[in-house]
């Protein structure tokens, strides 16, 4: 735990070296997310989809995805930029240190500039949650928390799988961005607007629907099926699989020098 605190403190000090740039970056990140939200709402007005989907449900689905994604961008950049660790030969150092690989990769890159996205998406998330829920219960509050955490787990799992390919390709694969940025772009809209094949993919392979689309139906009172409370935890299976893939990759690693 102390090691994690040291990582957090160190990267915060680095970020604050140029305070003006740091603050402006936070503001720009927040504004960029608000522009994305404006585009989503505008499209729904343009195509009159608000007759089918409640505005607050759209906001909740959007903010859940962005809050989970932003948290990963804030704390999980080490896996996103894992190819740099491989190319520079620094992974050799991680292997000989008596610390968890996961913690070391986590501590290699923490991007506090993403705080702007986290704060704005959190505000929208809380506001839309209050508006969506017909009645507030402990189960629904737990579901809201699990939605965000499990969304982060899914995005992080995709990054871990992408990092695993670096053991074979050295350089990172741009195709992974299709699954990270693509998942964000697809997931910020209600899955009901997509065709069945898309919904199946984002339910079984990258289960974004299980952390926003289906749980929101429970929150609104559309269904009382308790299974919907457990759906977000399917992400744990995806996380375990991604870690197995990463572990297999480490066994194939033969060093890249320095």
170 pLDDT higher than 70: no
Name every residue whose Cβ is closer than 8 Å to that of residue 239 and which is 6 or more positions away in sequence. 153, 154, 156, 157, 160
**Please, which pLDDT band fits residue 232 given cuts at 50, 70 and 90?**
very high
Q: Which residue has the higher pLDDT, 148 or 1?
A: 148
pLDDT at residue 82 in the model: 82
Ranges of each domain in the chain: 2-252
pTM, 2 dp: 0.86
* Stretch among 5-19, 155-169, 208-222 having the lowest mean pLDDT: 5-19
> Are 111 and 14 within 8 A, CB to CB?
no
């Amino acid at each position: 735990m102390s090691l994690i605190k040291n990582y957090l403190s160190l990267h915060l000090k680095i970020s604050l070296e140029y305070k003006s740039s740091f603050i402006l970056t936070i503001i720009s990140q927040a504004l960029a997310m608000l522009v994305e939200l404006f585009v989503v709402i505008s499209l729904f007005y343009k195509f009159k989809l608000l007759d089918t989907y409640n505005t607050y449900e759209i906001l909740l689905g959007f903010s859940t995805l962005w809050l989970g994604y932003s948290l990963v961008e804030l704390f999980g950049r080490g896996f996103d930029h894992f190819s740099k660790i491989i190319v520079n030969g620094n992974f050799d150092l991680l292997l000989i240190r008596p610390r968890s690989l996961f913690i070391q990769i986590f501590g290699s890159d923490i991007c506090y500039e993403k705080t702007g996205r986290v704060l704005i998406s959190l505000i929208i998330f809380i506001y839309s949650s209050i508006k969506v829920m017909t009645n507030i219960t402990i189960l629904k509050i737990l579901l809201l928390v699990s939605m965000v955490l499990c969304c982060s787990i899914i995005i992080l799992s995709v990054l871990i799988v992408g990092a695993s390919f670096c053991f074979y390709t050295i350089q990172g694969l741009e195709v992974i961005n299709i699954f990270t940025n693509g998942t964000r772009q697809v997931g910020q809209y209600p899955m009901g607007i997509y065709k069945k094949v898309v919904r199946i993919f984002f339910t079984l392979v990258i289960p974004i629907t299980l952390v926003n689309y289906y749980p929101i139906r429970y929150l609104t009172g559309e269904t009382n099926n308790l299974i919907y409370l457990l759906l977000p935890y399917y992400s744990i299976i995806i996380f375990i699989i991604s870690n197995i893939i990463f572990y297999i990759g480490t066994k194939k690693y033969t060093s890249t020098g320095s």
